[in-house]
Structure formats: C-alpha cells, structure tokens
Amino acid sequence: MPHDLNVSLNYNKDVQDIVSEIESGKLVLPDFQRDFVWPTKQIGKLLESILNGYYIDTLLTLPVSGDPDNIPFPPRDVAGVPSSQTANNMEMVLDGQQRISSIYYALTAPDLPLDNTTYPQLFCLKFSKIVNGEFDEDTITWRRRDWDSSQRLIDNDYELQMERDLIPFTVFRSKDAFEEWRWGLEDYAQSHDSVTREDIQQFERNTGTFRGYDIPIIELDPDTPDTVVVQTFERINTQGLDLGVFDILTARLYPSPHNINLRDLWDESIDQYPRIETYSDNSGSKTARERILKTLALYRGTECKDASLRELKPDNFESDWKSAASIIDRALEKAKSTEVGGLGVTEKYGFPYGSILPTIANLIYLAEEGGTYPNQEALEKIRQWYWVSTFSRRYSGSSDTISYQDYNEVKDWIKGSRSEPPEAIQEGRNLIPIELSLDTTTRGGPYDGVMSLLVLNGAKDFGTFESINVHQVDDHHIFPNAQLKNGLNGNSYDKTERNKILNRTIIQYRNNRFKYGDDLPSVYIPDMIEEHPRGEQGVRELLQGHFINDEAFQALLNDDYEAFCESRKQAIRQTIEDKTKMDLDWSVTEARLQ
C-alpha cells in the first residue's frame, strides 16, 4: 500500500538560527547524505541571493528524538563542525544540505578546503559596495582562510578591514557577533577618518535582510517509515535539477483538460528526426528542448524569453510543437550542408552562437514555405544576416530579445514590407571591424564562424587530400605550437599569438593528430608535394581551400610566420566581406591593435 506522506510547513529558520542549531547538534544530516560539494562560486551566488532577499527554496527535514532507540539513521554533522554533539531533539535535513552547509561555511570560516580549492576559504563582503547599496556578484569575494591577514580580518582588525575594504561573513555568525563587531567599528571610527558612523549605520541597514533572512522548513511526519524517508530522499536527489521552462510547461500542460504530454512530444521528435537527436546529444537535452520551445514561440509570433515560454498557450500546442521540430530539423540540415546555401556548421563546433538557431530556423521556414519554393532571394538575405550576426558577435550576450527583434525585422525585409535592411546588418558594418580581430581570436563565435568558412571553401585534409566531413573534423596549428613557443626565427610567441585563428585550420578527425607532427611548414609542405598525385599544383590548390594563397604559400616554405599570418588574414577578411556583402573598414581593427 502507498504511504500517505504527511508534511507540514509551520516555521522558518534564519541564517543565524541555522548556524546555532548546526553547532548545537540540533540540525544534522542522515548518514546516507552525500558530501558537501558546492564550489566557491556557487556558495557566492547563494550568499548574493540571500543578501538580495531572493527565494532560495525550502528545507525538508525529519524530526527525530535524541533517544538512540528512536533515531532511524545515524546522524552526521554538517561539514566543518569542530566537534560532534547530539541534541535531545534533532532535525535531519533531507533536502537542503548544500545550502545550509554553505551558510555555515561562510559564517564560521572553518579550517576546511572546498571541493574546488586546495586551501580553506574566507568569504567576505566589500564594505564600500554594501554601504552604497550594491548587492551584485562583485560585492562578495573569497580568499585563502589560512593567510595571516585572513585571520586578522576574522579577529576584527578594523584597520585591515577598512584598508582592504573587506568584512568577513563571520561577523554575521550570531546576533552577539554582529553587535560586537558594530560597536567595535564605531569605536574605531571615532579616531580614524577611513570610516564614518553613518557608513556603519548604512552597512547595518543594508545587511538587515541577510541577517534576518528566513528559510521555510517543511517537516515530514516523525512517524514516516524509514523506507519512505529513503525513497523520498532518493527521489529528491536524483531529480533535484533546476527546473527549466520545459519542466514547468510539462507540469502545466499535462493536467486535464489539456492532457498534453510534453515529454512524449520530445521523445517523438528525437525518434522522427535523427538530426535533432544528434543536436541534443551535442548541446544537451535541456538546451535542445528549450530551443524547440523558442522556435515554437517565434513560429507563433511571440517573444522567446523564459517568462513568455512559461505562458505558452495550450491551444494547438501539439501541432505547433511538431511544426517547430520540423522547422528545427530543416535548419540543422541546411546548417550542416556544404552545398550552395549551406552554412558549413560542423559537428565539433556547432553554430557560432547556438542561440541563433530558433531565429534562423523560422526565417528559413518562411523563405521556403512562403510563395515560390524556395525563395532564393530571401534565403540569400537570411544568409547575409546570419554571417553579419556571427562576425559582429550579435548573439554573444543575452539574445532572447534580439532573437524576437531580428525575426520580425528580417521577416519583414524578406517579405518586402521593410525596405531598409534590419538593424543587425545596419550596425554590422561598423561592429565587425570593432569586434573581430583575427590576430587575437582564439575561441568563440567568430572562431567557429571561420571554421565554417573553411568548410564552405572546400578545405581538404592535409594528409589524405580528401574533402572534410562536417561530422568528423578537428583543428590544428599550421605552424606548430611548440616551435612558436620555443622560438622561431629569433621570436618567441605567446599563447594568443600561437593559437589565433590565423594559425589554425581544419583537418579530418584522426585521434586529434596532425600527420606531420611538430614539423615546420618548410619540412612538411615538400612532403605533401611529394605525396600529392598532382605535385606542387595540387598542394597549392588544396591550400587555397584553407585561405592560403600563393603569397602565404611562399611564406610557409620560408617559415615566415608573420608574413604568412598577414597574407592569410587578408584572404579571410575578403571572404567575410563576400559573405556579409559589405566593404568593411579594417583600419579600425588595426588601430585597436596598436
């Protein structure tokens, strides 16, 4: 028979109560709990949320008596507690261990390294930012706990606290600890100009939310059977991922009268469209699902922000989902194509900016399904917008608003109701030379964009001389990394200079190994010429596919790295101008590098 799980929500604990009850042995963990694993940054984000008064979820506890006969599981202390104590009445935390452990760690600064650190850490607030009411992620910082200066901060060395602009979270350990710190700093302020009494009062006001922050407690019935407690814990911790919009919609659309099973729709999509399944494998199912939802939203003509997705209407949802999946699949097909109209997107690199997919998918659908099939002029305009967006880094930041704007502007442009190009293209002429420096690009959207250009340019493998499959590509240094690092022609090049896109190209994936190893071009180019069926002319033509013209070819033979990079840069820039249909003022880029 199923057990009726009785729970109650009847009180809160503030952060100082939590510290006190952990130290007294009242708030404990069941022995089967996992270890404290949160890294510094995640603890910092939790502290920032509490400082701002944001909701951080509830705690789920099981009340137990201190009588050994009534303790269902061996209790375990929260990480960092100096000595084990057993209270007469305990609460075992089933859900919330990482949160309470983080609070305890920050407010007590135990001698305990975190999961991502070698040394114990001390979490601090920047005094000046709190006084000014700035509660962002830069307000919270951490440093090694075992430094002498860290201990002085904990011991309330006010001069050091003001000099370093750091107040340790240990001052919030208890109400008494905060009062002691505040009165001590006020005494210090009477004889020092570095802080005023008004500053201290403002700090006290602005940290009031943190000090009084209440966390709701949900209690299981003390008589809950042990097996049910364990099953409840396992269910929470195996499914305790952050809820995304897909999960929220799944819950909202399932009940009657809608009866929409979103997970079944997803399963049907990946069964029907192998490209979507592959995309999900590469980008993660959460990302893939949400991008179908964003495609669906744009398909309906609505914004694709998370808040808008959560409110997607159930009417015709199943048919719209299927349409969105079909639209995404077609976009993935065209993206990976190397034929005319393809985008040369490879399996390894994916879209330069993955967030552009819902927009371009819907635009391709409009161009292919509206009017004469397909509308080549419209598709050409979409590709221009795509390449401009790629090399201007338009989708490098928050992109949901831009996606909706671009969808509408490009849609009107390709349908003829908008005479001027969309904002993305108008701004791109100025932005591309500002945003794109091929001399310093070592990763990111433009790097991946150049890799796509290489695919579209017909680049062939240096070893097999065969066309490169978009599903099996890798990249490698043209001038070997080790040779440049150790010194070439009297010059030693730094990491950026060695790894910039001008010195990288694509090869067919073969255990990530370049056939010619660490040989200089003056060694391996003659080897290629000897092996190629058409000799030097065949190699020259092969290298043209890698944006290596005759001038760059000669630089390779001379091991002239700088002349090679300069020549190849001009070739790639010309291709970018061809794809974006723009004459770009690259002198802006050169001026930024000087």
Q: Is the model more confident about 84 or about 39? A: 39
Q: Is the model more confident about 514 or about 348? A: 348
In the numeric block, which tokens belong to residue 371? 């009017």
Q: pLDDT tens digits for 138-150?
A: 899 999 898 888 9
Window from 7-11, 32-36, 576-580 with minimum mean pLDDT: 7-11
Contacts of 224 (CB under 8 A, 6+ apart): 3, 5, 6, 62, 232
Residue 90 pairs with which residues in a beta bridge?
64
Most confident of 258-262, 296-300, 440-444, 513-517: 296-300
pLDDT of residue 245: 78
Q: pLDDT tens digits for 559-571?
A: 999 999 999 999 9
pLDDT of residue 138: 82
Task: Say yes or no to pLDDT of 371 above 70.
Answer: no
pLDDT of residue 533: 94
Task: Say yes or no to pLDDT of 59 above 80.
Answer: yes
Task: Say yes or no to pLDDT of 433 above 80.
Answer: yes
Task: Say yes or no to pLDDT of 239 above 50.
Answer: no
CA distance 20 to 78: 12
pLDDT of residue 210: 93
CA distance 161 to 152: 9
In the numeric block, which tokens belong to residue 504? 């990288």
Window from 145-154, 239-248, 450-459, 538-547 with minimum mean pLDDT: 239-248
Alpha-carbon torsion (166, 172, 176, 179), positive or negative: positive
pLDDT of residue 238: 46
CA distance 561 to 559: 6
**pLDDT mean across residues, the chain:** 87
Task: Say yes or no to pLDDT of 70 above 50.
Answer: yes
Alpha-carbon 208 to chain mean position: 32
pLDDT of residue 242: 46
pLDDT of residue 575: 97
pLDDT of residue 33: 65
Q: Is the model more confident about 66 or about 366? A: 366
CA distances for 443 relative to 298, 333, 431, 499, 506, angstroms: 30, 24, 18, 9, 14
Q: pLDDT tens digits for 348-370?
A: 778 899 999 999 999 999 999 86
Q: pLDDT tens digits for 119-130?
A: 899 999 999 999
Task: Say yes or no to pLDDT of 258 above 50.
Answer: yes
pLDDT-based confidence at 241, cuts 50/70/90?
very low
Task: Say yes or no to pLDDT of 5 above 90.
Answer: no
Contacts of 505 (CB under 8 A, 6+ apart): 454, 459, 475, 476, 478, 546
pLDDT of residue 306: 84
pLDDT of residue 89: 81
pLDDT of residue 36: 83
In the chain, the percentage of residues whose pLDDT exceeds 90 is: 59
- DSSP three-state, residue 508: strand
Q: pLDDT tens digits for 498-511?
A: 999 999 998 876 53
Contact status, residue 48 vs residue 78, Cβ threshold 8 Å: no
Average confidence (pLDDT) over 3-12:
59
Average confidence (pLDDT) over 549-557:
96
pLDDT-based confidence at 392, cuts 50/70/90?
very high
CA distance 372 to 377: 11
Listed in sequence order, the DSSP H helices in 31-110 are 40-52, 97-108
pLDDT of residue 542: 95
CA distance 264 to 219: 34
Q: Is the model more confident about 408 or about 348? A: 408
pLDDT of residue 255: 66
Task: Say yes or no to pLDDT of 195 above 80.
Answer: yes
Peptide bond into 374 cis (omega under 30): yes
Alpha-carbon 6 to chain mean position: 39
pLDDT-based confidence at 374, cuts 50/70/90?
low
